[in-house]
Amino acid sequence: MIEPKFDLLSRILRDVLAEIRHGSDPDKAWAEAERAWAASREEDDIELFVAIDERDDEALAAIVHGWMSGERTLPKVDREVLKRALKAFRKRLKIVRLDSESSAGGGAMSAGRQSSIIGVAAPDQYPQEVWDELVRQKRLVDGSGGIYELPPE
């Protein structure tokens, strides 16, 4: 089931396109594209609607390519998901840093200390595709072992 609050329409349609081109059941793939489009409520993108409605894989490929290359802005629903995910990441990073700074050793009468934490694991309520997209857009840096960092300013 497609959850527009957490899933990226662009990634779902990219996977649908791959299934249409290399899979065994294009009708099932197009039905998935229709469900994803309906769930996203991306009604402003007439070109996308026409490509899905007419089952035009060339037009869908051009749209998906535009999203992946950055030549075309991502659907509104994707931008909202990415914005919420980045906000959740920043909040988690802030909490981890505050927890580190307040741990034993700072002393009640001292000026405290700065946290050296620069990255954390991504919140798990969002799928991996969301974090991959944020890394692709250079809004996060992929560290080692599933740890992400904010890019240097």
pLDDT for position 109 = 58
The model's pTM: 0.83
* d(C-alpha 32, C-alpha 2), whole Å: 9
pLDDT confidence of residue 17: 93
Report how far residue 113's alpha carbon sits from residue 116's, in angstroms, rounded to the nearest whole number: 9
User: Is 93 in contact with 119 (CB distance < 8 Å)?
Assistant: yes
Q: What is the pLDDT of residues 51-75, one digit of tens each?
A: 999 999 999 999 999 999 989 999 9
pLDDT of residue 1: 55
Percent of the chain with pLDDT over 70: 91
Where do the domains of the chain lie? 9-69, 78-149
Q: Which amino acid is at 141?
A: V
Torsion of the alpha carbons at 8, 14, 16 and 21, rounded to the nearest 10? 180
Instruction: Give the amino acid at 91.
Output: K
Dihedral sign, Cα of residue 72, residue 61, residue 65, residue 62: negative
Q: Which residues of the chain have pLDDT under 70?
A: 1-2, 103-113
Average pLDDT, the chain: 87
- What is the model's pLDDT at position 104? 58
pLDDT at 82: 95
